Amino acid sequence: MILSVFFTSCEPDETQVVTNFTTITMQDEFDVAGAPNSGIWGFDIGRDTDGWGNKELQYYTDRSDNVVVEDGMLKITAVSESYQGAAYTSARLKTQGKFEQKYGRFEARIKLPWGQGIWPAFWMLGSNFDTVSWPQCGEIDIMEFKGQEPTIITGSLHGPGYSAATPVTKSYELINDRFDTGFHVFGIEWGEDYINYYVDDVLYNQITPEDADGEWVFDQPFFIILNLAVGGNYVGAPTTNTVFPQEMLVDYVRVYSAE
């Protein structure tokens, strides 16, 4: 790792602890066509309460129309169709109960969809999500994207006292490029008392307990979520200009731990 090179761009810190995460602990290259590997991925189905708490407009399914592995990629497709009372369908995959890990490097190589009201994300929730309430479980948003801002992604951290509209957050903007025309690697390196956020080879943020206006809840295992939402508080609704279907293409998901 050559992290020190990039610290110059975000407040160099002499006491920075750098851990190398080089041991692969989970890897899905999406090389086997068909449904996603059920040993790694489960699904959230439906609309949950109030559109997954965000007034999202889609109904999540595990149909191949919405989620399939083909051409060496995971394809999550948002479709404009009337389904179970929703105007859109899409998919949300999670490793809950299948793969959970404390600390490490979590990264995915993704080509993002685009358009007003399109909200793809690569994120994590604390594995105690079902036993303690959110945001006590903690939420690490490795990448969130608003389809109407095709050059910008955001990495955020939600916990008790800093959640919903007030997370610890930072955006990253590509220079003379955009996220829906090619694949980019989105990742975090997460250790004791820090989470580093990067896009491709650019580290653009580090969040530590000092940044969090509340309890630091990131010393326990988390599980991974990949989803493509339509509408909702964060992005607003699609318009007639929004082109459907929209695809979120995931080339791989890889997780590493320290040696």
In the complex, which residues of this chain contact another protein (CB under 8 A)? 114-116, 146-151, 176-178, 180-181, 241, 243
- Which of the 8 DSSP states describes residue 3? H
Of the pair 9, 181, the CB lying nearest another protein is at 181
Query: Please, what is the minimum distance in Å from the beta carbon of residue 161 to another protein?
Result: 32
Of the pair 16, 181, the CB lying nearest another protein is at 181
Query: Please, what is the minimum distance in Å from the beta carbon of residue 232 to another protein?
Result: 17
Cα–Cα distance list, 215 to 138, 219, 222 (Å): 10, 11, 16
User: Residue written as tokens 């009201």?
Assistant: 117
Of the pair 53, 182, the CB lying nearest another protein is at 182
Residue 144 falls in the annotated catalytic set: yes
As a whole number of angstroms, the distance between CA 68 and CA 73 comes to 8
Of the pair 133, 181, the CB lying nearest another protein is at 181
Q: What is the DSSP string of 150-187?
A: TTEEEEEEEBTTB-TTS-EEEEEE-SS--TTSS-EEEE
As a whole number of angstroms, the distance between CA 208 and CA 254 comes to 23
As a whole number of angstroms, the distance between CA 190 and CA 203 comes to 13
Active-site residue among 139, 173, 192, 247? 139
Query: Please, what is the minimum distance in Å from the beta carbon of residue 202 to another protein?
Result: 16
Cβ pair 108, 226 in contact under 8 A: yes
Query: Please, what is the minimum distance in Å from the beta carbon of residue 111 to another protein?
Result: 11
Cβ pair 42, 91 in contact under 8 A: no
User: Residue written as tokens 């008790």?
Assistant: 160
* Residue 171 in tokens: 């955006």
Of the pair 120, 147, the CB lying nearest another protein is at 147
Active-site residue among 144, 173, 210, 247? 144
Query: Please, what is the minimum distance in Å from the beta carbon of residue 35 to another protein?
Result: 29
Catalytic sites, residue numbers = 139, 144
